[in-house]
């Protein structure tokens, strides 16, 4: 088995919780090189979907194609996967799963600013209230690798990145020679 260059971190949460912002900042601040993959964008760029759903204004992902494309990248390590769902990723992949949480009123405002259709805003708002992503993460991965972080203000972003960087420092200590 090849040694990983760095940890595999999944950043997930309801749309509007700040996943991409967190992932981009973490890639810059990480003590080991981390490649940020915005899975939603990747699906579009690499045509890893079955169809486009006009009503929901989203792609129906071909999960098999997606996982086949990601497998060699994950095997190398040093990756941040940024996506609104996480249960599709095999349990063996992530070293850390970060679930971002946000007040549903803020999510509503953020998604409105993005021009999401009302039905999609309502569905995502309900998903946040019902803790759908959090439940999915806890059902899919060992509880010790799942962490829930608040993502409402700039201070939250800074604190969250600092916490994850600390976690990476510990990961480096526990995996000597694994990082690039």
Assess whether pLDDT exceeds 50 at residue 72: yes
Nearest of 179, 78, 102, 83 to residue 140 by alpha carbon:
83
CB–CB of 145/96 below 8 Å? yes
Percent of the residues in the chain that have a pLDDT greater than 90, as a whole number? 89
SS3 state at 86: coil
* Residue 13 known to bind ligand: no
* Residue 114 known to bind ligand: yes
Asked if residue 71 belongs to a domain, the reply is yes
State the helix-helix crossing angle for 118-129 and 104-113, rounded to 10 degrees: 160
SS3 state at 172: helix
DSSP 8-state symbol, 2:
P
* Residue 19 known to bind ligand: yes
- The average confidence (pLDDT) of the chain is 94
User: Which residues on adjacent β-strands are paired with residue 97?
Assistant: 10, 146
Asked if residue 54 belongs to a domain, the reply is yes
Tell me the average pLDDT across 97-103.
Answer: 98
Domain assignment of residue 26, given as a range: 8-169
Q: What is the pLDDT of residues 10-54, one digit of tens each?
A: 999 999 999 999 999 999 999 999 999 999 999 999 999 999 888
Asked if residue 132 belongs to a domain, the reply is yes
pLDDT-derived band of residue 4, with 50, 70 and 90 as boundaries? low
Asked if residue 92 belongs to a domain, the reply is yes
**CA 99 – CA 102 distance, rounded (Å):** 10
Asked if residue 178 belongs to a domain, the reply is no
Asked if residue 108 belongs to a domain, the reply is yes
* Residue 115 known to bind ligand: no
> 145 to each of 141, 155, 164, 169, how far by Cα in Å?
7, 23, 12, 15
Assess whether pLDDT exceeds 80 at residue 149: yes
- The pair of three-digit structure tokens given for residue 150, joined into one six-digit string: 């608040």
* Residue 92 known to bind ligand: no
Asked if residue 80 belongs to a domain, the reply is yes
* Residue 78 known to bind ligand: no
pLDDT of residue 53: 85
**CA 19 – CA 100 distance, rounded (Å):** 7
| Residue 147: CATH number of its domain | 3.40.50.300
pLDDT of residue 176: 81
Nearest of 48, 13, 38 to residue 151 by alpha carbon:
13
pLDDT of residue 2: 42
> 117 to each of 39, 46, 124, 152, how far by Cα in Å?
21, 25, 11, 22
CB–CB of 115/98 below 8 Å? no
Least confident of 12-26, 48-62, 91-105, 159-173: 48-62
Assess whether pLDDT exceeds 50 at residue 69: yes
Assess whether pLDDT exceeds 90 at residue 56: no
Tell me the average pLDDT across 131-136.
Answer: 97
Asked if residue 19 belongs to a domain, the reply is yes
Classify residue 179 as exposed, middle or buried by CB count within 10 Å of its CB (0-12, 13-18, 19+). Answer: buried
Please give the tally of structural domains in the chain. 1
């Amino acid at each position: 088995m090849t040694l990983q260059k760095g940890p595999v971190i999944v950043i997930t949460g309801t749309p509007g919780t700040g996943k991409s912002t967190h992932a981009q900042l973490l890639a810059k601040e990480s003590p080991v090189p981390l490649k940020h993959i915005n899975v939603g964008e990747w699906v579009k760029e690499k045509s890893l979907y079955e169809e486009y759903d006009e009503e929901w204004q989203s792609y129906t992902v071909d999960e098999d194609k997606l996982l086949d494309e990601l497998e060699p990248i994950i095997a190398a390590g040093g990756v941040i996967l940024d996506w609104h769902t996480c249960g599709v990723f095999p349990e063996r992949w992530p070293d850390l799963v970060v679930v971002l949480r946000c007040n549903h009123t803020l999510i509503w405002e953020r998604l409105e600013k993005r021009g999401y259709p009302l039905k999609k805003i309502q569905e995502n708002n309900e998903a946040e209230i019902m803790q759908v992503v959090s439940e999915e993460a806890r059902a899919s991965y060992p509880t010790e690798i799942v962490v829930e972080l608040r993502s409402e203000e700039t201070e939250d972003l800074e604190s969250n990145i600092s916490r994850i960087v600390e976690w990476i420092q510990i990961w480096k200590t526990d995996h000597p020679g694994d990082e690039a």
